Amino acid sequence: MWQLYQFPLCPFSRKVRLLLGEKGIGYDLVRESPWERRDEFLDMNPAGRTPVMVEAAKGLTLIDSWAICEYFEETVEQAPMINGTSVNRAEIRRLVAWFDEQFHADVVAPLMHERMKKRLIDRASPDARVLRDAMKLAVNHLDYVDYLLDHRNWLGGATMSLADLTAAAHISVADYLGGIDWRGHAQTQRWYAALKSRPSFRPLLSERMEVITPPPHYDKVDF
């Protein structure tokens, strides 16, 4: 059985979990708080980041959400999530990178720093200006998702793909941390509601990060 090292609000682990869920691959969760820089974890992954996946019986360790997703995409045929022609696949990967890099840097990283790390580690108050900036950038990102959905059924094209799972993973963490204002984004909201109702998403939405409570709409499919 695979073990997945992660913490509930890690967006990169959420991306991997959504992919595993869609593909029907079982795994056990192992709680890892990368900011504690545990020696045994750093020995496994010198980058000190989640997710890491271990299959002890087979002696396998997979590190980095990109490498993990490509691995399961190559080895498990069911529910292909980097699908279509090479050009489609390039577009899916562009969007995965967009959410993992841009959306993460603009929205998720500042929200997590202010609302999670400051609370858990520094016992400090969040900086209202940083939160406001992140929430403003989140609006721009949702505008871009609206724009993509004007032209396509799903973010990467005609079918659901790793682009949708990655976007939903990051948006769900931002939403948990109160950083998403859904007003004026009906199209993105419908797309996100469709993802939220998938069996792969339900276990994520029911999890809680200690001391941090999400807004009431967070785990509702109608929101």
Strand order in the sheet with 60-63: 27-31, 2-6, 52-55, 60-63
Nearer to a copy of itself by C-beta: 97 or 193? 97
122-141 residues near a copy of itself, rule: CB under 8 A: none
Minimal distance, residue 74 CB to a copy of itself, in Å: 5
140-199 residues near a copy of itself, rule: CB under 8 A: 144
Q: What are 113's two structure tokens?
A: 């720093």
Piece of 15-23, 90-98, 169-177, 179-187 that binds a copy of itself (CB under 8 A):
90-98
Minimal distance, residue 138 CB to a copy of itself, in Å: 15
Piece of 85-93, 122-130, 150-158, 172-180 that binds a copy of itself (CB under 8 A):
85-93
Nearer to a copy of itself by C-beta: 98 or 176? 98
Residue 13, Cα to own-chain centre: how many angstroms? Answer: 6
How far apart are the C-alpha atoms of 31 and 19, rounded to whole Å?
Answer: 19
- Interface with a copy of itself: number of residues (CB under 8 A): 25
Q: Of 25, 28, 64, nearest to 44 (Cα)?
A: 64
How far apart are the two ends of the chain, measured CA to CA in Å?
A: 35
Q: Is residue 180 exposed (0-12), middle (13-18) or buried (19+ Cβ within 10 Å)?
A: buried
Tell me if 41 contacts a copy of itself by CB under 8 A. Answer: no
Between 49 and 78, how does the x/- string for binding to a copy of itself read (CB under 8 A)? -----------x-xxx-xxx-xx--xx---
Minimal distance, residue 11 CB to a copy of itself, in Å: 14
Task: List all residues 6 or more positions away from 57 whose beta carbon is below 8 Å from its beta carbon.
Answer: 1
Minimal distance, residue 19 CB to a copy of itself, in Å: 14
3-class SS letters over 132-158: HHHHHHHHHHHHHHHHHHHHCCECCEC
Piece of 95-103, 113-121, 196-204, 212-220 that binds a copy of itself (CB under 8 A):
95-103
Burial letters for 49-75: b for 16+ Cβ neighbours within 10 Å, e otherwise?
A: bbbbbbeeeeeeebbbbbebbeebbee
Tell me if 101 contacts a copy of itself by CB under 8 A. Answer: yes
- Contact residues toward a copy of itself (CB under 8 A) are 46-47, 60, 62-64, 66-68, 70-71, 74-75, 86-87, 89-91, 93-94, 97-98, 101-102, 144
